Amino acid sequence: MTISQVDFFYLAMPEILDIGDGSQDALLVRVRSDDGGEGWGECEASPLVSIAAWCAPMSHSACKPVSASVIGRRIEGPDDIRALNRDVRAHSLDLLQADHTLSGVDMALWDLLGRRLDEPVWRLLGWPRAYPKTAYASVLFGDTPAQTLEKACRIAAAGYRAAKFGWGPFGAELTADEAHVRAAREGLGPEVSLMIDAGTVWGEDVEAASLRLPVLEECRVTWIEEPFVSGALGAYAELERQARGSVRTAAGEGSHDPLMARNLIDYGGVGYIQIDAGRVGGITSAYEIARYAERRGVDYVNHTFTTALALSASLHPYAGIERSHICEYPVEASLLARELTAEQLPLDESGRVHPPQRPGLGVSPDPEAIRRYLQPVEIRVGGRTVHTTSEL
C-alpha cells in the first residue's frame, strides 16, 4: 500500500495551566493509505511546532520537512517502516523538531500495518509474546508534604504496587525534599515501590543530587529520575558511583534519537532507560533502544504521562522483555487525555497492565473527543497556505 495522506489534529484543554502536566494538549497523527487503510499515532510536545516540521518548505537537501520522506511511500512490511524512519533522519538532519514529528507518524504507520496484517504491533516487531507490566502511578508531588502524603495514601488504596512522584516543588530545598520523600513513603506503606522524578532540576550539579541520596536510601526509593539534563553523561556516571547501587538513576525521556539513549546507558551508566515513543522517533526507535538495553542488562521503562494511545504505543516496543516489567501509568491525565479513546488499558487485579492483543496499537481516538478539543491550525508562507487542519 502507498501512504496517500497524513493529517495532524492539535487538541488542547480550554485552559493550559503553568504546571508540569504534559497531558494538557496532544497532537494526533492520522495516516491513510491509497487502499483505504488507516492508522493513528501521537507526537509528544508542542503540537504547533511539530506540525511546522511536517509542512515547512525545504531549506536544503538535509533540511526537508518530514512530509518529503513519507507521502507516496510504499509500506508492505516492518522493514519499509524502518527504511522510512532512516530516510526521515537523513533528509531532515538539520530540522531539529523532525524527530518529534516522525514519532507520531511512525506510530501511525505501525498501527496501519498491524491493522492491515491483523496483528498487534508487538508481534510485528518480532516479540513471540507480550508480558504484563507492573504499572506505577505517575503523579506530581503535592505543593506540601501533607498533600504528597494524601496522594500517596490514595494511590496505595487504589491498589497500585508502585508509584512515582515528581516535579512540583521538588529539588529546590533539601529539608522540604526530605519531607516530601518521607511523606510519599509513609502514604504508600512499606510494600509499594517508590520512585522519585527530579525533572532535571539540578542541571549537572552532582553535589545537589548526592545530598538527597541518604533520604532516598532511607525510604527505599527504586530510582531517582532525571536528576540532571539528558546530556550530562558524566554527572549521571558520578552519581551512580556515589550511590553504589543503593538507589539507581533513571533517564532518557529527553532522548530524541536512539544514540542519545545508548549514550546514557554506555557513558551515563543509568540503571533504567526511559523512552517516550512520542519523542524518540516512534516505535521503530523505541524498539531499537529496548533491544539495546536488553543486551546491556539495563531495564527499559516507557515514559508516558498522557493518553491510552500514547501508553499503548509505549508498551509495544518492550512488550517481549520479561525483566523490564515496570510501566509508567498515567493517573492524573487531563480530561482531554482520558476522553480521547474509547478503549482504555485497565489494570488487572495484580496492578499490571497488559499490552493489547488487538490489531495495530489496539487503541483508537474517538472522533467526538477530537472534535471537542480540536484547535484548527492554518499556516501561510509567502502568500501560500502550507498547512490547514483537515476534516476528520
Question: Which residues sit at the interface with a second copy, rule CB under 8 A?
Answer: 10, 12, 16-22, 24-25, 44-49, 51-53, 55-63, 89-90, 93-97, 99-100, 167, 199-200, 204, 229-234, 254, 256-257, 259-260, 262-263, 266-267, 279, 375-383, 386
- Closer to a second copy by Cβ: residue 342 or 392: 392
253, amino acid identity: E
Q: How many angstroms separate the CA atoms of 120 and 373, rounded?
A: 28
Nearest residue (CB) to a second copy, 157 versus 381: 381
CA distance 386 to 380: 6
C-alpha cell at position 288: 531499537
| 122 within 8 A of 320, measured Cβ to Cβ | yes
Grouping H, G, I as helix, E, B as strand and the rest as coil, residue 292 is helix
Instruction: Decide if 196 contacts 188 (C-beta within 8 A).
Output: no
**CA angle at 315 for the pair 199 and 312, rounded to the nearest 5°:** 95
Distance between CA 283 and CA 127 in Å, rounded?
Answer: 13
Closest CB 364 distance from a second copy, rounded Å = 23
Whichever of 39 and 47 has its CB closer to a second copy, that residue is 47
Q: CB of residue 57 vs a second copy: minimum separation in angstroms? A: 7
Q: How far is the CB of 103 from a second copy (least distance, A)?
A: 10
CB of 210 to a second copy, least distance (A): 19
Least distance (Å) between residue 56 CB and a second copy: 4
Nearest distance in Å: CB 92, a second copy: 9
Element (H or E) spanning 6, and its range?
Answer: strand 3-12
CA distance 78 to 287: 12
Toward a second copy, which CB reaches closer, 285 or 341? 285
* Number of other CB atoms surrounding residue 137 within 10 Å: 26
| SS3 state of residue 172 | coil
**Burial of 45 from C-beta contacts in 10 A (0-12 / 13-18 / 19+):** middle
Output the smallest distance, CB 59 to a second copy, in A: 5
Nearer to a second copy, 119 or 205 (CB): 205
By the 10 Å C-beta count (0-12 exposed, 13-18 middle, 19+ buried), 326 is classed as buried
Q: How far is the CB of 47 from a second copy (least distance, A)?
A: 7
Q: How far is the CB of 98 from a second copy (least distance, A)?
A: 8
Instruction: Return phi, psi of residue 140, to 5°.
Output: -80, 150
DSSP string, 240-291: HHHHTTSSEEEE-TT-SSHHHHHHHHHTT--SEEEE-TTTTTSHHHHHHHHH
Name the residue nearer to a second copy (CB basis): 36 or 382.
382
**How far apart are the C-alpha atoms of 332 and 315, rounded to whole Å?**
19
351: phi > 0 → left, psi -120 to 50 → alpha, else beta; which? Answer: left
Nearer to a second copy, 63 or 156 (CB): 63
The minimum distance between CB 361 and a second copy, in angstroms, equals: 22
Of 21 and 299, the one with the shorter C-beta distance to a second copy is 21
Distance CA 289, CA 318 (A): 9
**Which residue, 346 or 383, is less far from a second copy as judged by CB?**
383
Closer of 60 and 295 to a second copy (Cβ): 60
